[in-house]
Amino acid sequence: MLFIVAALLLLGVLMGTVAHAPPPLTAVAGVAIALWLGVFALRERHARRRGPSAD
């Protein structure tokens, strides 16, 4: 998953609209997206271990 984030960030810097943003801003955005995906993955893993909820 982090490989995908890094690949998309690299492609964005080389080819996309991210090239118009300053590199520090691009790096911060990449880290924020990676953290968000990490939190999502942990929540999904935790939810699968608990099983289906009774809601």
Rg, C-alpha atoms of the chain: 15
The region that residue 51 occupies, defined by phi over 0 for left and psi between -120 and 50 for alpha, beta otherwise, is left
Q: What is the DSSP letter of 21?
A: S
What pLDDT, on a 0 to 100 scale, did the predictor assign at position 35?
A: 95
Query: Distance (Å, rounded) from C-alpha 55 to C-alpha 9?
Result: 38
Q: What is the DSSP letter of 17?
A: G
Q: Identity (one letter) of the amino acid at 46? A: H
Query: Distance (Å, rounded) from C-alpha 51 to C-alpha 8?
Result: 33
What pLDDT, on a 0 to 100 scale, did the predictor assign at position 42?
A: 94
Taking 50 as the pLDDT cut, the residues of the chain under it are none
